[in-house]
Chain A
Amino acid sequence: MTNPRLSRRALLGSLSAGVAAPLILNLLAIEDAAAQSAGASADYRALVCVFLQGGNDSNNLLLATDPGSFAQYWTARFAGAEPIAIMPPGTPPVPIGQVSSVTKRTVTTPDMPEHWGGALPIAVATPQPVPAANKVQGGPDTRSFALHPMLSGVQGLFAAGRAAAIANVGTLLAPLTKAQYLAPTAAAPVPQRLFSHADQQSAWQSGQVDGSATGWGGLMADTFQAANPAPAFQAITTAGNTAFLSGVSTRSFRVNYASDKASAQTITLAAQKGRYNQSDSFLDEFRLNLQEASLGFTQSSDMVMDYAEGVGRSIGGATTFDTALGAAGGPYTSVPKPPAFTDPISGKVAVNPLAGQLEAVVQTAAAHAALGVGRQVFFVQLGGFDTHDGENPRQGLLMAQLDHALAYLDQALTAAGLSDKLTAFTASDFNRTFTTNGDGTDHAWGGHHLIVGGAVKGGDVYGTYPTLGVDKAASGATPAFANPDAAGAAFIPTTSVETYLATMATWMGVTDAQLPGVFPRLAAFPVRNLGFMRS
């Protein structure tokens, strides 16, 4: 069977066309099981990809704050017209109109990092040694870490053991050293189209450059078909089409999050019955017309059929979804609303679109039994991370939105009794340059990410945080500096996106035997599981 998504009618039609009958009957049985909407699986699990669209400058998300590392950070970032350096941990916030004792600058606007106070320290369970090039004489042997000053909620989740970070993850085809990056070989290839938004978004979501037909979340979901009587709802997006949620047979279903309750979009006239426009047949004809191609009247056009099937899925899914979510007093009502969000730059109460999306996610997860799914993969997105300029006000707001949304997610999951059943992780196009372009940063490579949920072995930084600093030739009394982990201002990833995601796929129940089908390049990397998930 090449197309498992053929409609029921097309399947019945093809019985006479010589397609193997038992397989078709089997597929019909699956559809019938979906219609019955079997009860919840007791071991429900869900994974949420929080995509930070545009390339988050994660150099300011997770900072190494031991003296040698921070000195390199400060040199690179306290520079240019609008320095983008976060203040060292412990620095008190400087009110507007006063002078910072750290930078000697007068704070004039709320988007100056001096105004935010220092980076927020986190304790880690597993010490990371300070790399040789960042060691200072008499300095500590292990690294200390801190978060962006807007991430106080995440700092709390670290302390509570429900958040972890992973350092220097990025797109890789195989493990790669700096020497190999500079002189690539067939055995140690460099990924294609680094630094390009569309391609690296796709590579993060699918392992392929732009145009990939499948992505990791969708392929993962393909393996859950057996656990999901209603696979239409095993991949849910609040943000339109993404490579991440596309499987061989899995397609994403988009839901609205604008109102208080997650909802599907119903086609009003298709749900209406009776007479319309003085015709008894219009409404029936309207319903058929929308999805005619999917009902077997081939139009000899692939796009016509593809569109019609999309409408068919929308109509079919909307009814089921709204019914499942809509039951009065149903499980979704156990999910609290996000608290008010205040924009730290403007000081005004504002809408946090990420919190709204996560509210819809938790509501949908809470209704999983009625939706007929035991495993779900979600995709949510926050845009605006392409901070080539104006990085301070823009990333400051985005970090505050991320923090507010993740802290809310933790609360909502607890309230819904889903804390250890749903895990959220961040992903992004790429990290940005370690150096500034004056008031912003450009496209780079390996970066740092967050994992949040009750099933996370939190309070730790996984992966290896890179050596900080940019290569420099010796000049006068200043010795040369060579960073073994960076090419120019970009870090060469030491953990592949595959390994990061495979660790969570295993938690989701993808078996060792199934993993290569989802992550074909996983075998190229020495580690399959980074150990940040409880089993």
Chain B
Amino acid sequence: MTSSSNSSAQIAGGVAVVGAIAAAAAIAPKLGSLVGGAPNASTATAASFLNRATFGADAASAQSLAAGTTDAWFQAQKDAAPSPGGAPGFWASPANFHLAWVDRRQADFDAQYAAAVAAITDPNAKKPNHRRVDRNQFQEGFWARAVTGDDQLRHRMALALSEIFVVSFQGSTITPRIAASWYDMLSARAFGSYVDLLKAVTLHPAMGLFLNIIGNTQADKDPTRHPDENYAREIMQLMSIGLVQLEPDGTPRTDAAGAPIPTYTHDDIAALAKVFTGWGWYAAKPTNNTFAKQPGNGVGGAAPDVQNLIPYPALHSQLSKTFLGATIPAYTGAAPTTPAGAAALADYQAKSLDTALKVIAAHPNVGPFIGRRLIQRFVTSNPSPAYVGRVAQAFNGDPAKPATRGDLFATLKAVLTDPEAQNRDAALASPTSGRLREPTLRMAHWLRASAATSQAATGSAVGNWVQFADLGDPGYLAQAQLEAPSVFNFWDPDFTPTGSRIAAAKLVAPEFQAVDALTVAAYANLMAQVVQNRGWPGGDVKVTYAQEIAALTPPTATAPDLDSALIDRINTLYFGGAMSPVLQGRLTRVLSSTKSTAKAPTADQRASVRLDKVRSALILTLTAPEYLVQR
């Protein structure tokens, strides 16, 4: 992740229209698209693509993609590790990154504690604090990978999946290790098959805790009780098929009276709830006591706290279960009181789960339902039915080959390479295109484009990415990973802001659900602060603006600053070349008004002016409504 000043200059040269802003104002630039097999798109076009597909374009990645092809890029991303090339241990494994991160940080704290204890000479001295990892250490790993990781597409997909398959620290007893293990699972499954993901989601202890699969007990012979319906309801409503029947292009199917047709009834939920009975915590010797008793924190991926849930056959419903038009027959084998019976019932339980998840995954709604959600997470809040239809088709695969159904990599590629995603001239000409960037993506974009580093980094290690606050607080970003207020995520896919133009157009803008008088101000304050201070509070996460300053610096000491080169760079990396003439004019005015008060500024004074120019330009960029809406 390094880039020379030379590369900045190349970037500046890659954009046709900047500098002569007034003259260009009337003509919209032709932005072009990335075509799968064709190399040599403009750096700006490449950056625009990366701003959708990754945590944000930086100079090196934009130039690299511009010189290559998207097909090659997708292949490289499919194979990428979080960070190869001499990075130690877990950095090589997308499937074990976050858990190893949290364990490493606990080991750090343990070592700090041991050192503090060893340093005590007074036997009566107060014991030092032995710090335990908390959710901040999970967040650290997320940011380290988002800002410096090489497997950008995988990590970005994990973020999207974490907002569709939602678990949260809020209102649950999910530990940092369980959260990390959950994110590892999403990463590992991000490019796999949908039905495999659904099974991994169902059996992960994070979901077991969050939607109460753990502890859910059959009530076959107890008319006063019923199995817990929480997961049965939400897996259908939010993670697979949704509430109403969909056409292949995602538009709701209607009955003769024009009303949408529900996908399921409460009877379907009650039946499916029985499938999710009798799944409990992993234990080497399972008993009724281990079923719902959360194990303490272990270390490493094999510890019980992060193992998949296991069957507790005696607690699983043996009744027949009919849902979504399919029936799982009742258990008719030997009584589970015998070892053979218990084994047979455990087998019945496991097969019932597989059957149920296959029935859900085979429902024709899944393609358009999941397709629309992924489009909203990556490209636009209001895709055309045709776009949803094309993505659904990619999800459905080849009907003659059932194994091709639910290929998430193919689905994601269809989302990102669709003409509707790529045709930016059309998007910019439409008043209803685009999406509000998630606060996380805005912050990550700035950190990446500015080549942020963690100060604790030494050698090839990447440091700690120390969190300065709970970014999920509405006084900061109002979004932090696995901190959604409920299973409905931070925003509802169908949210529409009151009295807005989007509402008047009968369209949706999910991310606006987190936009209010408080959060817009808090966001502006936060970005103005971190940009100005060149890093997060606390001092660990820092930027130097070396590339930005290099772009500004003239070839000779007496020449004027290259203001337009800085604007070019920002236009390329943050706007994919589509910065409005209004904002270009504003940046030009502000940069030209930034001067030392000294009559004959020294080299240091000129350097300080350049730093302030970078700060001002980035504050204006990151708070500009036209940046916040990605089109």
By a beta-carbon cutoff of 8 Å, the part of chain A in contact with chain B is 2-3, 5, 53-54, 75-76, 79-81, 193-199, 210-211, 213-214, 218, 237, 240-241, 246-256, 258, 264-270, 276-282, 285-286, 288-293, 297, 299-311, 313-315, 317-318, 383-384, 386, 388-389, 433, 435-440, 442-443, 470, 472, 488-489
Pick the contact of B620 from A76, A218, A286 — CB < 8 Å?
Answer: A286
Pick the contact of B499 from A53, A248, A281 — CB < 8 Å?
Answer: A248
Cα–Cα, bound, A251→B582 (Å): 29
Q: Is B110 positioned at the interface, with any CB of A under 8 Å from its CB? A: no
How many Cβ-Cβ contacts under 8 Å join chain A to chain B?
Answer: 267
B514→A240 contact, CB < 8 A: yes
Instruction: Name the distance in Å between B294's Cβ and chain A's nearest Cβ.
Output: 11
* CB-CB under 8 A for A435 and B224, given A241-B516, A306-B497: yes
Cα–Cα, bound, A270→B523 (Å): 13
Cα–Cα, bound, A489→B226 (Å): 9
Pick the contact of A305 from B212, B262, B501, B615 — CB < 8 Å?
Answer: B501
Q: Give the size range of B's interface with the partner.
A: 35 or more
Cα–Cα, bound, A267→B526 (Å): 10
* CB-CB under 8 A for A470 and B223, given A292-B582, A383-B485: yes
Q: What are 12 contact pairs spanning A and B, CB under 8 A?
A: A79-B222, A198-B492, A214-B498, A241-B498, A241-B513, A267-B524, A277-B613, A278-B595, A278-B597, A304-B626, A304-B629, A307-B628
B583→A307 contact, CB < 8 A: no
B223→A472 contact, CB < 8 A: yes
Nearest neighbor of A214 in chain B, beta-carbon distance:
B498
A442→B515 contact, CB < 8 A: no
* CB-CB under 8 A for A254 and B517, given A75-B224, A289-B620, A306-B512: yes
Q: Is B251 positioned at the interface, with any CB of A under 8 Å from its CB? A: no
Pick the contact of A277 from B212, B504, B525, B615 — CB < 8 Å?
Answer: B615
By a beta-carbon cutoff of 8 Å, the part of chain B in contact with chain A is 170-171, 211-212, 215-217, 219, 222-230, 233, 237, 243, 262, 266, 269, 381, 428-429, 431-436, 474-475, 485-488, 492, 494-505, 507-509, 512-522, 524-525, 528, 532, 580, 582-583, 586, 589-590, 593-597, 608-609, 612-613, 615-616, 619-620, 623-626, 628-629, 631
Cα–Cα, bound, A248→B498 (Å): 8
A279→B590 contact, CB < 8 A: yes
B590→A285 contact, CB < 8 A: yes
B516→A310 contact, CB < 8 A: yes
Task: Tell me the interface secondary structure of chain A in the complex.
Answer: loop
A197→B486 contact, CB < 8 A: yes
Pick the contact of B518 from A214, A264, A389 — CB < 8 Å?
Answer: A264
* CB-CB under 8 A for A193 and B243, given A248-B499, A265-B517, A293-B625: yes
Instruction: Name the distance in Å between B267's Cβ and chain A's nearest Cβ.
Output: 10
Instruction: Name the distance in Å between A315's Cβ and chain B's nearest Cβ.
Output: 8
Pick the contact of B521 from A301, A314, A433 — CB < 8 Å?
Answer: A314
Instruction: Name the distance in Å between A487's Cβ and chain B's nearest Cβ.
Output: 9
* CB-CB under 8 A for A80 and B518, given A213-B498, A278-B596, A290-B623: no
Instruction: Name the distance in Å between B292's Cβ and chain A's nearest Cβ.
Output: 8
Nearest neighbor of A394 in chain B, beta-carbon distance:
B171
B517→A213 contact, CB < 8 A: no
Pick the contact of B528 from A241, A250, A265, A268 — CB < 8 Å?
Answer: A268
A282→B594 contact, CB < 8 A: yes
Nearest neighbor of A321 in chain B, beta-carbon distance:
B517
**B-side contacts of A267, CB under 8 Å:** 521, 524-525
Nearest neighbor of B432 in chain A, beta-carbon distance:
A302
B431→A300 contact, CB < 8 A: yes
* CB-CB under 8 A for A76 and B582, given A240-B516, A265-B518, A301-B433: no
Cα–Cα, bound, A163→B230 (Å): 33
B524→A290 contact, CB < 8 A: yes
**B-side contacts of A436, CB under 8 Å:** 224-225
B224→A79 contact, CB < 8 A: yes
Nearest neighbor of A311 in chain B, beta-carbon distance:
B520
Nearest neighbor of B269 in chain A, beta-carbon distance:
A195
B434→A281 contact, CB < 8 A: no
Instruction: Name the distance in Å between B467's Cβ and chain A's nearest Cβ.
Output: 19
A279→B594 contact, CB < 8 A: yes
Instruction: Name the distance in Å between A74's Cβ and chain B's nearest Cβ.
Output: 10
A240→B474 contact, CB < 8 A: yes
Sample of 18 more A-B contacts, CB < 8 Å, known A288-B586, A383-B486, A442-B226: A196-B237, A256-B518, A265-B521, A277-B594, A278-B595, A282-B590, A285-B589, A301-B631, A302-B502, A302-B505, A307-B436, A307-B520, A311-B520, A435-B225, A437-B216, A437-B227, A438-B215, A438-B219
Instruction: Name the distance in Å between B28's Cβ and chain A's nearest Cβ.
Output: 10
**A-side contacts of B590, CB under 8 Å:** 279, 281-282, 285
B217→A81 contact, CB < 8 A: yes
A310→B515 contact, CB < 8 A: yes
Instruction: Name the distance in Å between A1's Cβ and chain B's nearest Cβ.
Output: 13
**B-side contacts of A80, CB under 8 Å:** 225
A301→B498 contact, CB < 8 A: no
B612→A279 contact, CB < 8 A: yes
Nearest neighbor of A316 in chain B, beta-carbon distance:
B517
Cα–Cα, bound, A293→B501 (Å): 12
* CB-CB under 8 A for A211 and B508, given A267-B524, A435-B225: yes
Nearest neighbor of A300 in chain B, beta-carbon distance:
B431
**A-side contacts of B485, CB under 8 Å:** 383
A218→B629 contact, CB < 8 A: no
B517→A302 contact, CB < 8 A: no
Cα–Cα, bound, A314→B586 (Å): 22
Pick the contact of B492 from A210, A253, A308, A439 — CB < 8 Å?
Answer: A210
**B-side contacts of A300, CB under 8 Å:** 428-429, 431
A306→B233 contact, CB < 8 A: no
A54→B498 contact, CB < 8 A: no
B522→A265 contact, CB < 8 A: yes
**B-side contacts of A198, CB under 8 Å:** 488, 492
Give the residue among A80, A213, A470, A489 with the most B Cβ atoms within 10 A.
A213
Give the residue among B269, B521, B609, B629 with the most A Cβ atoms within 10 A.
B521
A285→B486 contact, CB < 8 A: no
B624→A289 contact, CB < 8 A: yes
Instruction: Name the distance in Å between A275's Cβ and chain B's nearest Cβ.
Output: 9
Instruction: Name the distance in Å between B289's Cβ and chain A's nearest Cβ.
Output: 11
Nearest neighbor of B266 in chain A, beta-carbon distance:
A195
* CB-CB under 8 A for A278 and B230, given A195-B266, A267-B524, A314-B521: no
Cα–Cα, bound, A60→B613 (Å): 62
**B-side contacts of A389, CB under 8 Å:** 212, 215, 228
**A-side contacts of B625, CB under 8 Å:** 290-293, 299, 304-305, 307-308, 311
Cα–Cα, bound, A251→B228 (Å): 38
B212→A388 contact, CB < 8 A: yes
B225→A437 contact, CB < 8 A: yes
B228→A440 contact, CB < 8 A: yes
B586→A301 contact, CB < 8 A: no
Instruction: Name the distance in Å between A401's Cβ and chain B's nearest Cβ.
Output: 14
Instruction: Name the distance in Å between B567's Cβ and chain A's nearest Cβ.
Output: 14
Pick the contact of A437 from B228, B495, B514, B586 — CB < 8 Å?
Answer: B228
The 6 closest A-B pairs by CB, nearest first: A246-B498, A302-B501, A265-B521, A277-B612, A314-B517, A308-B625
Instruction: Name the distance in Å between A69's Cβ and chain B's nearest Cβ.
Output: 16
B520→A310 contact, CB < 8 A: yes
A438→B593 contact, CB < 8 A: no
**B-side contacts of A276, CB under 8 Å:** 616
Nearest neighbor of A299 in chain B, beta-carbon distance:
B626
**B-side contacts of A315, CB under 8 Å:** 521
Instruction: Name the distance in Å between B115's Cβ and chain A's nearest Cβ.
Output: 32
A280→B593 contact, CB < 8 A: yes
**B-side contacts of A210, CB under 8 Å:** 492, 494
Nearest neighbor of B597 in chain A, beta-carbon distance:
A278
**B-side contacts of A79, CB under 8 Å:** 222, 224-225
Pick the contact of A317 from B226, B237, B488, B517 — CB < 8 Å?
Answer: B517
Nearest neighbor of B170 in chain A, beta-carbon distance:
A383
**B-side contacts of A291, CB under 8 Å:** 625
Give the residue among A196, A241, A251, A435 with the most B Cβ atoms within 10 A.
A241
B594→A278 contact, CB < 8 A: yes
